[in-house]
Structure 1
Amino acid sequence: MNLEASIRAADLPAAIDSLRSGADVNRVGPEGLTPLMIAASLGQLQMVELLLTAGATVHVIEPRMGSTALHKAVQSGNSDVVGLLLDHGSFIDQQSPVLGNTPLMDAVLNKHEEVVRLLLERGARTTIRNHWQQTALDLAHDDHLDAITRLIEARNVTDADHIGTLTLIAAVKAGDTSEVERLIAAGAPLNQRTPIVGNFDDDYTPLGLASREGHTDIVRVLLDAGADPRRVVGLMRGTPVHEASYFGHADVIRVLTANLETTGAPAAEIDAQGPYNGLTALHDAVWHGHVDAARTLIDAGARLDLRTHAGLTPRELALVYGYDGLAKILSEAERN
């Protein structure tokens, strides 16, 4: 019995024998499904555990509709399988490209209240829309799923209430240095994060927001108080230095890249590369033609040789966008 047949027969010993005999745990079958997708679709917790232990990847999508093993687990209604896949790195909000459905939407459509509850507890966003411009809440309303509707509405209220408690974040956004100082003195958490609710402030720290908004004095206050400049911020998973560089805030960059003795904080990650596109802070400054920001980063010792995922150094990126003056600055820096 091959691996797929073992899974469909719910025969765990046979599946183990197949894997021991060298069966490919990620082999795509004629329907475009991997063994993990099949086991997840059938809600087989022990089989899913076995396949994950054997190296099954959770990130494969099937080629017809673009669903993942997590979508399949949600459709099965087995919340234990859903939780296990999330524990192994499944993207909780991944949308299928044909329908635009997230796992949360599929849980609503399949009327699996327990799975909806779990996904909400694990941070699934409620504001995403599918290709019919429907949110999960819209789907619940349309199908008269009162209990599920209440769950999603309660989560939205919780998110709004949580944002309201982030007083340091609010003071930073307002650029109110005195209030920032007062709140820090009162014990406000320096590295608090905004929830992921579907706006431009998702998953930011106070330092990340201050760097993005160009509030140099607040950046200095936060660093002096012990805010960590190495923490990634935002959905792009960049650093505060990325934020300041992208928006051309050279003064903020100077504060963030100052010596340890000056800032009283850990040195910032000046050469960190964003996981989405491989851009460093210097690439970000170049991308938008911010000459002063780029000069500041060069003076701070930013590497000039790192390449984006598209294979470009900062100088090459400047040439792509026609920033000849900036390319000359970078070329001179490369020679020094």
Structure 2
Amino acid sequence: MRNEPFPLVTAIRSADLASATRLLRSGADPEERDPAGQTPLMIAAGLGRPQWAELLLTAGADVHAIEPRMGATALHKAAQSGSADVVGLLLDHGAFIDQQTPVLGNTPLMDAVLHKHEAVVALLLARGGRTTIENHWRQSALALATGDGLHAIADLIRERVTAGARSADSRALTEAIKAGDTDRVGDLIAAGAGVDERVPVVGDADDDYTPLGLAAREGQARIVGLLLELGADPRRVNGLMRGTPLHEAAYFGHEDVIRVLTDMTGKDGVPSVEIDAQGAYNGLTALHDAVWHGHTGSVRLLVGAGARLDLRTHAGLTPRELALLYGYAELARLLAAAEETAGSGHPATASPEERSPLPGDRAR
């Protein structure tokens, strides 16, 4: 075993659990890749071995790792193997259920359909796998099932599509929020609608929004205030972009909503909203979002509420640098003055023409 160039991979392929355990305990790298670029976790998942997968995950194996030839993850491999146990284990450890491979565009659900694994299809659907995604041939999971004559699997997907339609309660609350009907919103919540309940994911712009996030996005300040009074959590993220309600309000320039959110404090007197939360996708704060779309009034409100001026996006830009990038001279001056007042140590820049190149001055 010690003379093998890939001892951990060899142990897994030869079903030598004792040797694999010993290797990991002695410091073997759980990310050791074989010549094809597969990690031990991918191999264990492809072989449908839950004990091995659990051992590797406990040792720190990366559930999000991608193999270099087709861009598949361990979850794709598990779906192909037909092991519902491994699929469930990987999902429990944070695997992205709808991740598409870059070459084919397949999701794990599509791979489970293609490999005719009904139990895995059922599990992925139950765990929230989306049925509306299409691969690079514009085929959905349902199209793949029907095209291959997999009637039982196709029926499972159709049932999920039907069950995944907006419930009457969530649809009613969403419509009341969009219409600005504060009384109706209050009545629906009093009747049992969840104040923090998420909109079901069916493939449109309202997917996975909380009532508060939806009201903030729509600029419904009165409803935002009502929801906060009823106990809505302003820290909960919304939608597929995972933004806070304050991100939503800043992005669209809803100044009244920003005022309501930033004025809300908890019992300890600390603001309830996380004013400097940075988005997972691009690192933008609410202040960045307001700058991005040139909402001067919103920028003033956020700066006045204490938003940090020095936080950088994943492209390396502070709010002022973002303003310079997009040619918002007034906003850049406003933020430069705020930096000077705050003593942040960031030098003001007179104009985009005079400044040195910024980290964001490249194709985005």
TM-score normalised by structure 2 residue count: 0.89
Which residue does the alignment assign to 1:154?
159
Question: What stretches of structure 1 of length at least 5 have no aligned partner?
Answer: none
Which residue does the alignment assign to 1:164?
168
Alignment CA distance shift 1:60-1:217 (3 Å):
same
Superposed CA RMSD in Å reads 1.6
**Structure 1 CA distance for aligned equivalents of residues 197 and 229 of structure 2:** 16
* 1:148-203 alpha-carbon deviations (Å, 9 max, x no partner): 1111111111111x433313223112222221122233342111101222211111
1:93 equivalent in alignment to 2:122: no
Which residue does the alignment assign to 2:348?
none
Decide which moves more: 166-175 or 83-92: 166-175
Question: What stretches of structure 2 of length at least 5 have no aligned partner?
Answer: 2-6, 342-364
Counterparts of residues 317-336 of structure 1 (less than 5 Å): 317-336=322-341
Q: Which amino acid aligns with 1:164?
A: A
Alignment CA distance shift 1:207-1:265 (3 Å):
farther
Aligned length: 334
Which residue does the alignment assign to 1:282?
287
Correspondence for 1:314 among 303, 319, 340: 319
Contact kept, 8 Å, 1:71 with 1:103, in 2: the verdict is: yes
Give % identity.
67
How many angstroms does 1:274 deviate by? Answer: 0.6
Counterparts of residues 1-336 of structure 1 (less than 5 Å): 1=1, 2-160=7-165, 162-166=166-170, 167-260=172-265, 267-336=272-341
**Structure 2 CA distance for aligned equivalents of residues 51 and 231 of structure 1:** 32
How many angstroms does 1:265 deviate by? Answer: 10
List, as ranges, runs of 4+ consecutive aligned residues in structure 1 with deviation greater than 6 Å: none
Contact kept, 8 Å, 1:228 with 1:265, in 2: the verdict is: no
**Structure 1 CA distance for aligned equivalents of residues 104 and 264 of structure 2:** 50
**Structure 1 CA distance for aligned equivalents of residues 271 and 216 of structure 2:** 16
Q: Which amino acid aligns with 1:244?
A: A
**Structure 2 CA distance for aligned equivalents of residues 187 and 168 of structure 1:** 11
Secondary structure of the structure 1 residue equivalent to 2:164: helix
**Structure 2 CA distance for aligned equivalents of residues 139 and 261 of structure 1:** 51
Higher relative contact order (CA 8 A, sep 6+): 1
Contact kept, 8 Å, 1:229 with 1:266, in 2: the verdict is: no
Secondary structure of the structure 2 residue equivalent to 1:100: coil
Contact kept, 8 Å, 2:97 with 2:124, in 1: the verdict is: yes
TM-score normalised by structure 1 residue count: 0.96
Contact kept, 8 Å, 1:227 with 1:265, in 2: the verdict is: no
Q: Which amino acid aligns with 2:103?
A: V
**Structure 1 CA distance for aligned equivalents of residues 24 and 194 of structure 2:** 49
